[in-house]
């Protein structure tokens, strides 16, 4: 890798950190240049604009993530194994690409209104279809309950997995794989001890006053 390519990657990483922590809308080219210790004009030797920087960050990250999802969907694994793998891939993304995940979570709506970023809505729809497919396979195979609300369950997964980028820190008490495994057990096995869930479901409701 050439020195120019290495420097470009360093600048892109700095931009990603700025976008993730300050927000894309509130980060200027000058902010990125100052963090890199260069003049604003020097940044344009490597990138056309702030938009091109965030576009490269998100495209590369999502190409890799959805490539992994596609491999899971196409595999011969059973339904539960596919779900487990999807959770692990998602948390691996949070581990390895926290800035890209944060940018997508925080700024996808804004970026989606800009020219050239229509693919973000497409990726969002693709992510939904990945999880819907995995859940439907789970129901069809008997791994998941037949009365499961697929859409609601997908929303639960979406809103609990990706928000973890706000609190998960590499090197903390749990690895990303351990966190993923906990999520799998909570979703698929529940958090009640044996018998408690069934008993709770049969508790009688308070009688209405006459």
Mean pLDDT over each residue of the chain, to the nearest integer: 89
195: how many CB neighbours lie within 10 A of its CB?
Answer: 8
* Cα-to-chain-centroid distance, residue 156: 13
> How many Cα atoms sit within 13 Å of 52 on the Cβ side?
10
- Tokens matching residue 84: 């487990």
What SS3 state is found at 44?
coil
pTM to 2 decimal places: 0.84
Higher pLDDT, 173 or 67: 67
Residue 162 and residue 173 in contact, taking contact as beta carbons nearer than 8 Å: no
The average pLDDT across 71-90 equals 96
Confidence band of 149 (pLDDT split at 50, 70, 90): very high
pLDDT digits (tens, 9 = 90+) for 19-64: 999 999 999 999 999 999 999 999 999 999 999 999 999 999 999 9
Confidence band of 201 (pLDDT split at 50, 70, 90): very low
Examine the pLDDT at 200 and tell me if it is beyond 60.
Answer: no
Q: What are phi and psi of 97, to 5 degrees?
A: -135, 55
pLDDT of amino acid 4: 60
pLDDT of amino acid 187: 86
pLDDT of amino acid 208: 46
d(CA 123, CA 130): 10
Per-residue H/E/C for 164-180: HHHCCCCCCCCCHHHHH
Examine the pLDDT at 196 and tell me if it is beyond 90.
Answer: no
Q: What are phi and psi of 142, to 5 degrees?
A: 90, 0
- Closest-CA residue to 57 (of 98, 100, 9, 92): 100
d(CA 83, CA 184): 8
pLDDT digits (tens, 9 = 90+) for 151-194: 999 999 999 999 999 999 888 888 999 999 999 999 888 877 75
d(CA 177, CA 184): 10
Examine the pLDDT at 98 and tell me if it is beyond 90.
Answer: yes
- Closest-CA residue to 60 (of 101, 20, 27): 101
What SS3 state is found at 191?
coil
């Amino acid at each position: 890798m050439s020195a120019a390519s290495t420097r470009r990657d360093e600048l892109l990483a700095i931009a990603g950190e700025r976008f993730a922590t300050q927000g894309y809308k509130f980060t200027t080219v000058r902010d990125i240049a100052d963090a890199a210790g260069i003049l604003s004009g020097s940044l344009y030797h490597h990138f056309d604009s702030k938009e091109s920087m965030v576009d490269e960050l998100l495209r590369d990250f999502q190409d890799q993530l959805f490539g992994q999802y596609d491999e899971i969907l196409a595999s011969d694994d059973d339904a539960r194994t596919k779900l487990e793998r999807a959770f692990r891939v998602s948390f691996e993304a949070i581990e390895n690409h926290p800035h890209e995940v944060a940018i997508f979570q925080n700024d996808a709506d804004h970026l989606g209104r800009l020219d050239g970023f229509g693919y973000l809505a497409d990726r969002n729809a693709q992510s939904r279809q990945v999880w819907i497919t995995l859940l439907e396979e789970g129901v069809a195979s008997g791994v998941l309950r037949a009365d499961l609300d697929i859409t609601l369950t997908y929303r639960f997964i979406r809103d609990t997995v990706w928000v973890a980028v706000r609190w998960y820190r590499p090197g903390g008490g749990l690895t990303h794989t351990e966190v993923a495994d906990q999520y799998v057990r909570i979703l698929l096995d529940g958090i009640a001890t044996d018998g408690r869930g069934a008993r709770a479901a049969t508790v009688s409701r308070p009688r209405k006053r006459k």
